[in-house]
Amino acid sequence: MSETTISLEQPQLALPLFGPRDQHLRVIRETLGVNITHRDGAIRVAGDDAKVAQAVQVLEQLKGLVLRRGLVAPDDVALALAMATGDESLRPLTPIDIVNSIKQIRPRTPGQAAYAEAIRKHDVIVAVGPAGTGKTYLAVALAVEALKHHQIRKIVLVRPAVEAGESLGFLPGDLQAKINPYLRPLLDALHEMVDYDEIKLCMEQQVIEVAPLAYMRGRTLNDAFVILDEAQNTTVAQMKMFLTRMGEGSKMVVSGDPTQIDLPPNSRSGLIDALTRLAPIQGVAVVRLTTSDIVRHRLVQEIVNAYETPSNPPASQ
């Protein structure tokens, strides 16, 4: 155990260095397992010798940033920690560059970062994981990024229209009205990244297409970014049909949750089949997200865990 003191000559440097509500200090403490206190213009770091040395290196680097530019961002803290420890997983996650986006989008977990990297580097990506891990959201964001940077000419968002207890034929409205509820999650993700008027124009010009899986039969999709959502609800034949629509200059992302299959009994999921069938093929990436990648409300992770943990049946009265 050791203790080191860093002088903070100018008291006004403390706030930008420590961050709002000491969030920067908290990240350093939790990452390195050291104790950091501040009193009378001095920062005291105590703990394991090696960890104290790393913490001092991080704090000195951040102090220099404050002196040069007056502030420290969370990404600066992450980068300083990565450099001090040599742990590349601590590096700040690269944002997804969507020109004129409504908000900045970036992976929020190492698993999501690996997923985004796989999409950028491969032509076919199969991603599985529980609800809330960003499978659809990140894929749509990277599709918009590719479109805005003229890497593709078209985005195609696809979903199998599996009836969840209701038959489509009995739902009111024309065909578009019937299938809209099944395609809504894809449109919701899109609306968070592109304003309404631009989406409307792109859809009118068929630059962005949202369609049920059945509409893919017989097509060849060139220079397109194609996303198949809820792929656990495809059959093996449907998955083969979808994947063979791929044309020149295209990329396909297949995502789903194998624990939420709505297919009839004795029907094998095309997603589960694809996980093993496609894994050996060069150019295909298989990504498995976990509950640690859930980024919805904090309770979602606990709810998913509760359903995945076997429980004893309630005692009979």
Give pLDDT tens digits for 149-185: 899 999 999 988 764 433 445 445 555 555 566 667 7
**Looking at per-residue confidence, does 309 or 73 come out higher?**
73
The yes-or-no answer to whether 2-90 and 110-308 have a common fold is no
Task: Enumerate the domain spans of the chain.
Answer: 2-90, 110-308
Q: Where are the alpha helices (DSSP H) in 122-247?
A: 135-148, 175-191, 196-204, 236-243
Query: Is 0.85 topped by the overall pTM?
Result: no
Give pLDDT tens digits for 83-119.
Answer: 888 887 777 766 676 544 556 788 888 788 889 989 9
* CA proximity to 212, closest of 169, 271, 261, 158: 158
Q: Which of 38-47, 67-76, 205-214, 239-248 has the lowest mean pLDDT?
A: 67-76
Residues in the chain: 317
When pLDDT is averaged across residues 281-302 and rounded to a whole number, the result is 85
**pLDDT-based confidence at residue 125 (cuts at 50, 70, 90):** very high
Token pair belonging to 193: 């990244």
Q: Which of 47-51, 58-62, 165-169 has the lowest mean pLDDT?
A: 165-169
**C-alpha to C-alpha distance for 167 and 165, rounded to whole angstroms:** 7
What CATH code would you report for 2-90? 3.30.1370.10
Task: Look at residue 134 and tell me whether its pLDDT is greater than 80.
Answer: yes
Give pLDDT tens digits for 19-37.
Answer: 888 889 888 998 999 999 9
The pLDDT of residue 175: 53
Contact 128, 257 (CB under 8 A): yes
A 10 A CB-CB count for 33 gives 11
When pLDDT is averaged across residues 132-143 and rounded to a whole number, the result is 91
The pLDDT of residue 219: 93
The residue written with tokens 């970062």 in the block is: 113
Helix axis angle, 74-85 to 49-69, nearest 10°? 140
The pLDDT of residue 167: 45
The residue written with tokens 């004129």 in the block is: 100
Strand ranges across the sheet with 2-7: 2-7, 42-47, 35-39
Which CATH superfamily is 110-308 part of?
P-loop containing nucleotide triphosphate hydrolases (3.40.50.300)
**pLDDT-based confidence at residue 67 (cuts at 50, 70, 90):** confident
When pLDDT is averaged across residues 143-152 and rounded to a whole number, the result is 90
